[in-house]
Amino acid sequence: MASGNAIRGSRVGAGPMGEAERGESAPRLRISFWCSNGHETQPSFASDAQIPETWDCPRCGFPAGTDRDNPPDPPRTEPYKTHLAYVRERRSDADGEAILAEALAKLRGEI
């Protein structure tokens, strides 16, 4: 026996599909973007929209530009810095030696 729900399998707002029901779609432009790996992406833009200089490549994530022969460079990623690397940026070797000597003197009970 079938259930009594008449709208089973449809969603709110569902109706006949087609241009006559939805109206005319806006004029579009398809612009090609190339990344440094040679991947081509063709997003579509409204004909009166401002086209961006770069677009993220959906395949590799690198930035892509409209010039096929001269794509944008991939971003440089800085390596992970350790705590010691940050300390060395703030202090010179002489400062480090002075701090170490003071800590050793305190441990030995000289201070």
Feature table: binding site for Zn(2+): 35, 39, 57, 60
For residue 84, CA distances in Å to 88, 89, 91 come to 6, 9, 10
Q: List the binding residues.
A: 35, 39, 57, 60
Nearest to 41 by CA among 49, 52, 27, 50: 52
Q: Three-state DSSP class for 100?
A: helix
Query: Burial of 85 by CB count in 10 Å (0-12 exposed, 13-18 middle, 19+ buried)?
Result: exposed
